[in-house]
Amino acid sequence: MSIDTSSLEGKKIVVIGGTAGIGLAVANMATAAGAKVWAAGRSQSHIDKAIIASEGLFQVRQADTHDSESMEKIFKEVGSIDHLVSAAVGGERTLKPFLEQTQDQFQAAYDKLWGYCKVVRTGASYLTETSSITLVSGSPARKIKPAQSPLSCVGAAVENLSRCLAVELAPIRVNVVSPGTVDTAMFDAMGDQKAANLAGMTSTHLIPRAGTSEEVAEGVLFVMRNRFVTGTTVDVDGGRILS
């Protein structure tokens, strides 16, 4: 007996944090697979670029993970949602030793978690029994390094949230994709040193290079397509956790 677990043709997909980086790659690749996609972001400059990148093939909207009304507006437009993805970056990241951070700096990283919670709370009523939710964490959740405690803690919280939701929302599937070091606009501030810095950051990884947004997006499409995957974290990190 053959079971089709791969088709996204005609599926309605909403990608919050979908106007740049990994989220935009998900929007592009899901559209290419035949899905009907709504990509949302809060940055007007990212929205403008995403509209150009979409070539009119998917919808681009403004929304903030902390603004339920802006997300509700999109969800109502879509109606029944087959796959809900949140790839929003979240709060400010302070890369300092724990004791050198203020409480406010540490807590700011958790804006990502609170945003994801609001995405799920707002979107849940638009999902069906065959729908899925995919969140994005990051390898610091389980690859502990000095001066990254906020990243590690919030990433671990996102991954545990997904397992809690998988149990509570079943049969709706809930998964996390965890990228390693990925060459996105986040690193553009490095300027001419970007390539050299990324090479240095990944030199000890099992695959010694930065990943691409498209490679991570493949992981997102996998958990959307495979109807037997839930409550798990898919690492797309070039072996960073094992390095």
Smallest Cα–Cα separation from 12: which of 171, 89, 127, 161? 127
The pLDDT tens digits of the residues spanning 101-136 come to 999 999 999 999 999 999 999 999 999 999 999 999
Structure token pair of residue 80: 């029944």
Q: How many CA atoms lie within 13 A of 85 on its CB side?
A: 33
Q: Is the peptide bond before 208 cis (omega within 30 degrees of 0)?
A: no
pLDDT computed for residue 56 by the predictor: 97
pLDDT computed for residue 184 by the predictor: 84
pLDDT computed for residue 1 by the predictor: 42
Counting Cβ atoms within 10 Å, is residue 56 exposed (0-12), middle (13-18) or buried (19+)? exposed
Residue spans per domain, the chain: 12-184+212-236
Number of H helices, E strands in the chain: 8, 7
The pLDDT tens digits of the residues spanning 23-80 come to 999 999 999 999 999 999 999 999 999 999 999 999 999 999 999 999 999 999 999 9
Structure token pair of residue 71: 């997300």
DSSP strands (E only) in the chain:
12-16, 36-41, 59-62, 81-86, 127-136, 173-179, 233-236
Q: Kindly state which CATH superfamily the domain 12-184+212-236 is placed in.
A: NAD(P)-binding Rossmann-like Domain (3.40.50.720)
pLDDT computed for residue 6 by the predictor: 61
Average pLDDT, rounded, for the chain? 95
The pLDDT tens digits of the residues spanning 156-213 come to 999 999 999 999 999 999 999 999 999 987 788 788 888 999 999 999 999 999 999 9
Strand partners, 14: 38, 84
Residue 3 has pLDDT above 50, yes or no: no
pLDDT computed for residue 90 by the predictor: 76
Q: From residue 155, how far is each of 30, 43, 82, 96, 211 by CA, in Å? A: 25, 23, 25, 17, 18
Q: Coil, strand or helix: which one is 49?
A: helix
